[in-house]
Structures are given as structure tokens and as C-alpha cells.
A and B are shown apart, each in its own frame.
Chain A
């Protein structure tokens, strides 16, 4: 296969006079892990919302395997192969853990409403396949024991992982993770990092990761795009990004001295430990 899997070309979005995202570009290859970082309000989640169709870009294009996605409604973008998690967890709280994942398997179902009402063999076979696939995903994320619990009763870290399992159930080609480690303790973060690292090979997907925790990103991704005030201020390998003066300035403000770099690095390393 030639060409990138996901290709984002210079998308922009303004809310009135505020340029929330300006000329954002990105190219993701198969099985690539990429990070999207930036200080609060930099436009990271807005960029995600542009990719997934929640907002329509004012200009620019998003295409997946050459197919243009922008302009499509969110559910068609998901069906096309772009799945996401939410920064502020959005599970289906009153449904069981299993059903949360099964809901997202519905794209597998080819039978119509009538087949479901008559319980045709095809309906039963597809329902069984969906349940098996859901249980396999749950066990990968260590949630199989909690399959029958209501999603609302899961501890916070489990809810985050359930969101990832649910997004994967849509069988995406690209997975967008919006701060999956937010609010986790260091040990949980470590486990999560290992899990995310294994995703591209296991599911043959590319992963785009928004993360506040520098330690998590630096350690995980091949490359990073840094946003600040909607502008892309740096693109490159983690090591280069870490030393980039513009990035340090964006994160720590003007006048940040070189020691700040070392501190940031130390903090990141500690964060992982």
C-alpha cells in the first residue's frame, strides 16, 4: 500500500474571530503511533473533533486511505475506520460493561430489524460473534471479570480502559485517544502505556494520542506534533521535541531557562517510574 493511511491537510476552524485550529496537517502511516501535545486550550481536542466530524473544518481535507472524510457525519467517519475515545469519559453508564462494547460491534451486524425480531439463524450467529469479539476485547483490557457490571460502577481507570475497548470494537483503522492516562496513578499509567504500545501491531491500526503527561507520550510515540493557540509549533521525534525552545516556551512560558528543560525531563522520567 502506498501513501499514508490518514492524511490531514491544512485543516482550520475558527469560532468567530478565534482561530481554534489553524492549518493543522498530519500524516499517519500504518501501525504508526503519533502524539499530539500542547498546553491547555491549544486546540488538541478541537483537532480531534475536526477529524471525527463533530466539527466541520472551514478549510482543508481529511482523508483515510484516499477517501475524503470531512463533511461526513460522525457515524460515517467511525464506520469508515476512524474511532475515538473522549477526554471526559462518555460511556453508556446504565449499560453493562459487556453491552458497552457490544454496542460498538453493531457495525458487524448485517441482518435487518426483521431478522432480529424473527430471531433468524443469521441474527443469532451474528449476535454470538459480536458477543465473542466483545468478550475477547474485554479480556485484553482486563475487564472480563466485570462484564456484567454496570459501566457506571467501574473504577475510574477501568472506565478509561473500557472506552478504549469500546472504540476498538468498531474495528477502526485509526484510533484517536484523547488523554487516556488522565487521572491515573503512576502504576496504572505504566500498564496503560504498555497496552497502547501493543495496539498497532495487535489490531493493525495507527494510533494518534493526545496526552498531557509528557512521560507517557515521549516514551511511546514515533513522532509528536505540538500545538499552541491552534498553531502547529513543532513536529518531530520525541527527543527533538523535548529540546525544542518553542515547545518549552509554550509549556513553561517565556524566560524559561535551560534548567527547565532538565527539570521537565526529570519530571517526565519520574512520572513513569
Chain B
């Protein structure tokens, strides 16, 4: 497999990064042109939808691709959100003496925010490893029970944390590890600077979608799908099923953590334990089930619809769960594989499915 010379290698390299470039361009466009023109309310909705897209597509790596059943996605979101919040809030306090947003577009504050999101993703991935390793060695529904328990334990722990330290002087007096216990308890982690912008949401949505799509069309993702289809046969084809399941789970937790980081720094939301409880996990599961187990575009579309729906039905929003439950029952009866099943939206126009690749 020798490197082919000249343009061919360059073209390959370009094609490798092209989707990211397109995504970055679209994010810039969204940030500087679309968002200012459509006002703060619409912009907030777009960001909400983007975060939900990341959550749904990442959960789909486990529930859709690998066929396991995790119902603790909000837990990993919380791990990422609180970690990122800690880094930006107390980091800003230590660096600049105040938790307020610092610097402009891609300024110092935003770089701290980026580092915080990546740290949140890393810690969430680690949590995913700790939860996944023991529970994914087994077949069946153990994962559902363990992830449910994980989310609830985390919620209770977060509710018992201390108040957020309000002044830079207090922050400087407190040893660093102890800061992690000052995240606001049941009232929530308030005061986190609002760094989440259409640009960053767009960037992370792009990364999520490209990663998911490239996974699905390559041999790693095929191993995920094989496990979902028949775990015994997958093992017999030489697939190390436990390792692959854990990989999928860790990757899923990583992106949930990233979404949590975005959520923590979003205007108009508070990071509190109740917000990231079982209800949120269940919302994400519904997005995946509605969109299609294993369909990236399906999960993304369902995430957008289910973000906008409560806004459209504002007066009914109390009854949202009844509507969701009814919707789920209808989908289970009419279309048990979800909106798109294992396929993608662009397959709809093709008479025959050309593998899972392009």
C-alpha cells in the first residue's frame, strides 16, 4: 500500500477534512449571518436543537448501532457539564477575577471554554469506561439497569454538593480539589459564563455527525452493527464483542459530555441535577427510538422535531410526556424500526440500499 504521488494523495487528504471545513463554514454563517438576523429566541432554539442532536446521535451509537440499551445519557451529560462548568467558572475566577464571559469571538474566554468542553468530554468518557466495563461484559438488559442507577446516584450526589463560591477571594483561599464540591447542590450551578454560541454548537454538531457517519460506513461501525444484529455470530466472526461495546459506550459518553459542556454554558438554562435527571435521559431515548435505531439522520431529525415541538405547543408543554408516550406507542405499532430504521434520509430516494457505505 504505497502512497500514491501528487494530487491523488492531496485529494484524499482534502476529502478527509472537507466535511469539517464545510461544517466550520456553515457554523460561521450560522453565527454571523443567520443568528443575528433571526433574533435571540430563534437562536436559542437552534442551539437547543443542536445540543439535542449531539445527544441523540451519540446515544444512537449505543442504543441504535450496538443494540444495547442505555438510559442514563443525561448522567454523562451532567458529568461533562459540571466538569466544563467547574473549569470555566473557577478558571475565570482564578485567571480574571470574575466569572463573567471574557474576550470576544475566539478570545481567551472562548479558548478556556473549548478546553473546558474537551475536559468535560474526557471526564464523561472516563465515567463511561467505569460504567461500561463491568456492565457490558454481560449480555442483555444489565446496561439499562446500571445506567439508570448511575444517573440517579449522580443526581443525588450533585444535590448534596455545597454552594457555588461567589468571590474570587474565596476561590483563591480554597484548595483546588475542594472546588469540585462547590457546584451549587440542588439549586444548580449558577454563574457559569455564557460561552455557548451558534458557532460552537455548529462545530460540535459537525464533529458528531461526521464521526457517526464515518463510523457507520467503516469496519469499526460494521462491528457495532454486527453486535446489534447477533452478538453470538459477531463473536464467532472474531469480533471482540465486549471491547467493541465498551468502545461504543465510551464514545457515546464522550459526546454526551461535550453536549453537557455546551448545555452548561448556554444562556437561559441552569445546570442543575433535576434538569439532567432521568427525564432528560428518557427524552434522548425517545429521539433515538423515533428517529430510527441506527439511523444518524433519523436521530438528528427526531432531535430537532422534539426540540421544536414543545415550543410550538407551548400551552400544552405540561402534557409533553403524555404526547411523547402516545407518539412512541403509535410509532411502535406503525413503524417499530423508527422513522428511518437503519437507513439514512438520503437512502429514501434510492431504490436499493448500497450497503451501509456510500
Contact = CB atoms under 8 A, between A and B. Distances in A.
Interface string B336-353: 000001100000000011
A79 B223 CA distance: 14
Contacts of A78: 235-238
Nearest to A147: B355
Contacts of A148: 352-355
B218 A94 contact: no
Contacts of B341: 94
Given A99-B355, A127-B218, A106 B238 contact: yes
- Chain B, interface size category, equals 35 or more
B45 interface: no
A86 interface: yes
B326 interface: no
B229 A84 contact: no
Interface stretch (B8-16, B113-121, B170-178, B196-204): B8-16
Given A93-B229, A120-B16, A148-B354, A75 B241 contact: yes
Given A92-B229, A119-B16, A120-B16, A130 B219 contact: yes
A116 B220 contact: yes
B220 A99 contact: no
A124 B247 CA distance: 21
Interface residues of A, number: 50
Contacts of A102: 219, 222, 355
Interface of B: 1, 3-4, 9, 12-13, 15-17, 210-211, 214-215, 218-223, 225-226, 229-230, 232-241, 247, 341-342, 352-357
A54 B4 CA distance: 44
Contact of B353 (A52, A76, A96, A119): A96
A130 B223 CA distance: 14
A98 interface: yes
B237 A116 contact: no
A18 interface: no
B232 A104 contact: no
Contact of A95 (B15, B226, B235): B226
B294 to A, nearest CB: 8
Contact of B219 (A92, A106, A118): A106
A119 B13 CA distance: 8
A48 to B, nearest CB: 10
Interface of A: 52, 54, 73-76, 78-79, 83-84, 86, 90-96, 98-99, 102-107, 109, 113, 116-127, 130-131, 147-150, 166-167, 169-170
Contact of B236 (A84, A98, A99, A121): A84
A170 B237 contact: yes
A52 B3 CA distance: 39
28 contacts: A54-B232, A73-B240, A75-B238, A75-B240, A83-B237, A90-B230, A91-B229, A91-B233, A92-B233, A93-B229, A94-B229, A99-B222, A99-B356, A102-B219, A102-B222, A104-B238, A106-B239, A107-B238, A116-B214, A116-B220, A118-B17, A121-B1, A121-B3, A123-B218, A127-B219, A148-B354, A166-B237, A167-B237
A33 B210 CA distance: 47
Contacts of A118: 16-17
A169 B238 CA distance: 10
B353 A90 contact: no
A117 B211 contact: yes
Nearest to A123: B218
Given A92-B233, A106-B239, A119 B214 contact: yes
A126 B235 CA distance: 21
Nearest to B225: A95
Given A78-B237, A113-B220, A98 B1 contact: no
